Structure 1
Amino acid sequence: MTSLDELTSWDADFTGLRVVVAGLGASGFSAADTLIELGARVVVVDGRDSEENAQRGDTLKIVGAADVLLGAEHQDRLPKIDGEEADLVVVSPGWNPRQPLIAEAEAASIPVWGDVELAWRVRQREGRPTAEWLVLTGTNGKTTTVSMAESMLQAAGLRALAVGNVGTPILDAIRDPQGYDVLVVELSSFQLHYTHTMSPLASVVLNLAEDHVDWHGSFEAYREAKARIYERTRVAAIFNAQAPETIRMVENADVIEGCRAIGFTTDVPARSMVGLAEGLLVDRAYLEDRANSAIELATLEDVGELAARHNVANALAAAALVRAYGVPPESIRDGLRSYQPGDHRIQAVARRDDILWINDSKATNPHAAAASLSSFRSVVWIAGGLSKGVDYHDLIADNADRLRAVVTIGLDTADLEAALREHAPNVPVLPTGVRDTGEGQQDASPGAVMRRAVERAAEVAQAGDTVLMAPAAASMDQFASYAQRGNAFIEAVSELMEDPGRGGEAESEGS
């Protein structure tokens, strides 16, 4: 059998390789499907014995040599394959290193890869173009930035796609028959933990704040996972000049000789940075006379209607990435003009009686919620959910003067409410009435939870306010995903707007 070290292209010999794929979500299914196509012998394990997973498992059995083990009893041990130990484990991002199956593999010195590691190794294929990779991570803003970069690359006439944590599994893009010129790869800290040999053209960490401590075990481990994105970068290691932690990451990274450190800032840029000057996004990095001049890339108006500071920073980070590939300035401008913000990220839903309703369900941690709260003057805030062990005190202290009221959702809002009592004692806190009491209240439907939240917000909102659903927490305690949470909010607001008892004419907002 071929050594794992030799598996560095699609055309390498994967025949007979024994692989356990942990997880049967989108990335796990894509990894298993790819490995089967490559000729590996695959066993898939997932703790959820759901109808969706059963259907995916049936599909894998049809296409090739795969066993599928569903149910909680299977995720606690590493299965044998044809009576022998696995050669490799390919793990989905949700599986943390302390889970028994992964810990057993590592104790037995069995390599553990993520789907991104597998994709990097098989990206080269005879007869197809090999895409360059522009990669990014950060606590917040990842999806916006990869989407902006994708739009800029496409405006330059390139075949480009945003992939990874953004939604399209990266292995699906690798297997595309036409191939791509560039892949813009959004990477979570989970994916980076299991990525070992990636060597991208350019990389960036957008920002860093406490998050996913429950998965990584500590903030230090989370930070170290994020910093791995800079390793082996070839052309541009891009840092946030206003986030010193990212500067230190670049300084400590083992990059390829000749790689440049490029900064982005929403202030006037220094040499070798992109930034903001007199309402213009400018480049002082990718030009010869960067000591004395700058290139105009776009205007603030090109960034869009909600050109809040964090969105300008995202646009500058995207510009720094694509400029590393050689995208011309006019394509940056055209890409920003044609960019359409994704759902659930500071998404305007409706306006009535001079009250703006905003869906920012993707604000799954305090850092993301802070970006939303700082964009509006007077806020009725809908917040709460699965906190993931983070701290709310700085978020509340920094934004207390913006809050008219807080409507709480989530099964356990104790930490959030404690921070509100300490830093915003005069702000009314309006619970939806759903608590994890052990008496079944947690079974309230997602739609009912959000309808109650919207009703309570409507009771206190006044002309000039923004009702902002930016939970600063994950969704999985009451919702299947942040998207379901956001859609429940949109539906509840729509019902409110249609209620003639509320009075006034509703004005729909575009997304």
Structure 2
Amino acid sequence: MTDPRPDDLADPDTTALTGAALTDEALTSGALAASRTVVFGGGVAGLSAARFFRDIGGHVRVVEDREATARAVAEQGIATLGTAELSATADWTSGVDLVITSPGLRPTHPLLRAAAQAGVPVWGEVELAWRIDRAGVLGPPRTWLVITGTNGKTTTTSMTEAIMSQVAETVACGNIGLPPLDALRREPRVEVLAVEASSFQLYWAPSVRPAAGVVLNIAEDHLDWHQTMAGYTAAKARALTGDVAIIGADDEAAAALAAASPAPTVVRLCSDRPRDGEIGVIDGVIVDRAFDDGGEPVPLVATEKIRPAGPPGLHDALAAAALARAAGASASAVEAGLAGFHPGAHRGQVVAVVDGVSFLDDSKATNPHAALASILAHPRSVLVAGGQLKGAAVDELIVSTRDRVAAAVVLGVDRQEILDALARHAPEVPTVTVFTGDDGRVIVSSAQDHPSATDAAAVTRVSIDVATPPESSPDAVMAAAVTAADRLARLDGENPVVLLAPAAASLDMFSGYGHRGDSFARAAAALHERRS
């Protein structure tokens, strides 16, 4: 389904959109079964909500315009209809008790506005799961630990799951893949939910009050949805409305949220020696001075045991340790969980080494803030970047990394914005662009007016000569990009790595960041095969 782009976005206070038709006090499986629910979107979150209502015997319909998705929903015995069909019904809200919205839909969507004006509560799937859990519909309420931020959410969520699994049945859920409602319905019963929450999900979940929540950092992202940084930041800050608010103190924007948090306990994360109320590092050991009942710093784990190594990994580990300590985990549980943790795919792993050049896949770096951390982790790199910038600017990224970027290969729908930023702030960095021409062929182009135009032109020739299928498949574009990056790395002479750190989302060309990273890895492996 589609959502028109608004000129501006309403204030993220969705109280008006979450009326009391189904209050927590009245929320029972019987009340839910008797309700008439409309679910917008048949993706992972929407389907989770629809299955729940189907399974309790409720009346539910899913609004979905994508034919394949609508068929998949219908095959599960759930009624579907399109937005045009719903819009054609002037009084479609009549008799509707609840709307569950896809997190990606803005509150300015006409159908959501119609529901709000009719007094129908509009919840996100996370809001639904929270209310069901608090009301005891699926048994005694669980412990919720909520993780958000512009960068590092998935790693922190996975680390939190690893630690808390030492203590109780724990599952990572939310934006990481598993919907919280599905987590609540798992057997054996899950006691702790480590919930990765995007700004969209938090916007649509105003009631969530976790046992502990963390805002890791705040930087420009998803401004095409929120329209302003204030709106984006306010949505993120909803993670800090529970019992314990945990804040990345080294990040200026995140640190500024401490004063406004209603949480009775605020814990700060710092990369150096902590003060009272902080978790930080002393002599290469993460130590707790926030939950140390005896007044002495509690050593948790040696930083050398943290993976991924480097400042981003350490920051994520500090946050996971703080969340776990807030939930009652012992120091030994923190150490065991973090020492045994291995990061997931597409987070900076070496996927190939071709004649001494290492190829690293950090496709999960889907915004400039994440790409900054990735680039700064290496002395010198040939950067493969581009995709959907989602309204974020890349100027600060280029300014902060120009001395570490040996060259850049740029692709994707917003490639010109990256090229323009490079031209403004790092004109000495050779650039190559890979895109699909009007005839469907993959085109590799270099900046002709560049100081290194001779070398860049050589890259262009090499890339075209060895480019894999000329048709406009994403794999063909990535293969040409990898070949160009390899050539640039060898022209540089300072042993750079080839780093996929796109600074952008992937859905313009790929099905997700995982697909993009896999394509990069396949292209690097194919290059290795050609050389061996």
Q: Give the TM-score taking structure 2 as reference length.
A: 0.86
Aligned to 2:162: 151
Residues 1:297 and 2:300 aligned together: yes
The superposition leaves residues 403-461 of structure 1 with CA deviations (integer Å, 9 ceiling, x where unpaired) of 111001103311111100011101110111336x6x65698111111111111111111
Task: Report the CA distance shift for 1:10/1:484 in structure 2 as closer, same or farther (over 3 A).
Answer: farther
Give 1:485's aligned amino acid: R
Give me the whole-angstrom Cα distance separating, in 2, the residues matched to 1:373 and 1:78.
52
2:196 corresponds, among 186, 203, 206, to: 186
355-364 or 366-375, larger mean C-alpha shift: 355-364
Look up the SS of the partner of 1:183 in the other structure.
strand
CA distance in structure 2 between the aligned counterparts of 1:107 and 1:127, rounded to whole angstroms: 31
Picking from 287, 290, 305, the partner of 1:285 is: 290
Aligned to 2:147: 136
Is the contact between residue 380 and residue 467 of structure 1 (CA under 8 Å) also seen in structure 2? yes
Which residue number corresponds to residue 346 of structure 1? Answer: 348
Q: Does 1:492 align with 2:523?
A: yes
Matched, 1:275 2:280: yes
Q: Report matched runs for 1:181-220 at 5 Å.
A: 181-220=191-230
CA distance in 2, matches of 1:409, 1:33: 39
Give, as a single letter, the amino acid of the residue that structure 2 aligns with 1:276.
Answer: V
In the other structure, the counterpart of 1:59 is 76
Alignment of 1:415-494 (within 5 A): 415-434=417-436, 444-462=472-490, 464-494=495-525
What amino acid does structure 1 have at the position aligned with 2:114?
E
Change (3 A) 1:126 1:110: closer
Task: Tell me the CA shift for residue 7 of structure 1.
Answer: 5.8
1:36 alignment counterpart: 54
Aligned position for 2:40? 22
Alpha-carbon distance in 1 for matches of 2:498, 2:259? 41
Using the TM superposition, give the Cα deviation of residue 261 of structure 1 relative to its aligned residue in structure 2, in angstroms.
Answer: 0.6
Indicate whether 1:385 and 2:387 are aligned. yes
Determine if contact 2:155/2:316 at 8 Å carries over to the other structure: yes
Give, in whole Å, the separation in 1 of the partners of 2:233 and 2:294.
Answer: 35
Question: Is residue 177 of structure 2 the alignment partner of residue 175 of structure 1?
Answer: no
Question: Which residue is equivalent to 1:404?
Answer: 406
What's the secondary structure of 2:67's corresponding residue? coil
Contact kept? 2:357, 2:486, Cα under 8 Å: no
CA pair 3-105 structure 1, distance change in 2 beyond 3 A: closer
Alpha-carbon distance in 2 for matches of 1:345, 1:327: 27
Question: SS of the counterpart of 1:461?
Answer: helix
The question of whether the paired residues in 2 share the 8 Å contact of 1:354 and 1:465 is answered with no
Name the CA shift for 1:283/1:351 in 2 (closer, same or farther; >3 Å): same
Deviation at 1:180, TM superposition (A): 1.4
Contact kept? 1:10, 1:121, Cα under 8 Å: no
Q: How many residues align?
A: 481
Letter in 2 for 1:238: I
User: Quick one: percent identity of the two aligned structures?
Assistant: 38
The answer to whether 1:224 aligns with 2:226 is no
Shift of 1:276: 1.2
Whether the 8 Å CA contact 2:100–2:122 is kept in 1: the answer is yes
Q: Using the alignment, how far apart are the partners of 1:180 and 1:266 within structure 2?
A: 32
Give the aligned residue type for 2:303.
L
**Distance (Å, rounded) in 1 between the aligned partners of 2:396 and 2:141:** 45
**Aligned-residue CA RMSD (Å):** 2.1
The equivalent of 1:64 in structure 2 is: none
Q: Answer whether contact 1:7 1:121 (CA < 8 A) is retained.
A: no
Superposed CA offset, 1:223-256 (max 9, x none): 111111222x12x11111112332332321333x
The alpha carbon displacement at 1:307 in A equals 1.1
Query: Is this contact kept in 1: 2:354–2:527, CA < 8 A?
Result: no
Say which SS state the counterpart of residue 519 (structure 2) adopts: helix
Amino acid at match of 1:364: T
Instruction: Tell me the distance in 1 between the aligned counterparts of 2:426 and 2:335.
Output: 41
Q: Tell me how far 1:155 sits from its aligned partner.
A: 2.5
1:403 and 1:307, CA in 2 relative to 1: closer, same or farther beyond 3 A? same
Counterparts of 2:98 and 2:293 in 1: how far apart (Å)?
A: 47
The AA in structure 2 aligned to 1:317 is A
Residues 1:230 and 1:74: Cα distance change in structure 2 (over 3 Å): farther
Q: Give the Cα–Cα distance (whole angstroms) in 1 for the partners of residues 252 and 398 of structure 2.
A: 23
Selected match of 1:68 from 80, 103, 109: 80
Which segment drifts farther, 123-132 or 239-248? Answer: 123-132
Cα distance in 1 between the residues matched to 2:333 and 2:50 = 37
Within 1, Cα distance between the matches of 2:77 and 2:218? 38
Query: 3-state SS of the aligned residue for 1:104?
Result: helix
8 Å CA contact 1:45, 1:74 repeated in 2: no
The residue number in structure 2 matching 1:507 is none
Q: Shift of residue 176 of structure 1?
A: 1.5
Equivalent residue of 1:60, what SS?
A: coil
Retained in 2: the 8 A contact 1:78–1:104?
no
Residue 321 (structure 1) aligns with: 323
Q: Which amino acid aligns with 1:30?
A: S
Q: Distance in 1 between matches of 2:411 and 2:334?
A: 40
* 1:237 and 2:245 aligned: yes
Looking at structure 2, the residues matched to 137 and 78 of structure 1 have their Cα atoms a distance apart, in angstroms, of 38
1:47 maps to which residue? 65
Aligned mates of 2:88, 2:314 — CA distance in 1:
47
Contact residue 155 and residue 331 of structure 1 kept, 8 A: yes
324 and 241 in structure 1: CA distance in 2 versus 1, 3 angstrom threshold: same
Aligned match of 1:121 = 131
Question: 1:126 Cα shift?
Answer: 6.6
2:381–2:499: 8 Å Cα contact kept in structure 1? yes
What is the TM-score of this pair, normalised by structure 1?
0.89
Equivalent residue number for residue 14 of structure 2: none
**Given the superposition, is the C-alpha separation of residues 109 and 126 from structure 1 closer, same or farther in structure 2, using an over 3 Å criterion?**
closer
Give the conservation status (yes or no) of the 8 Å contact 1:350–1:493.
yes
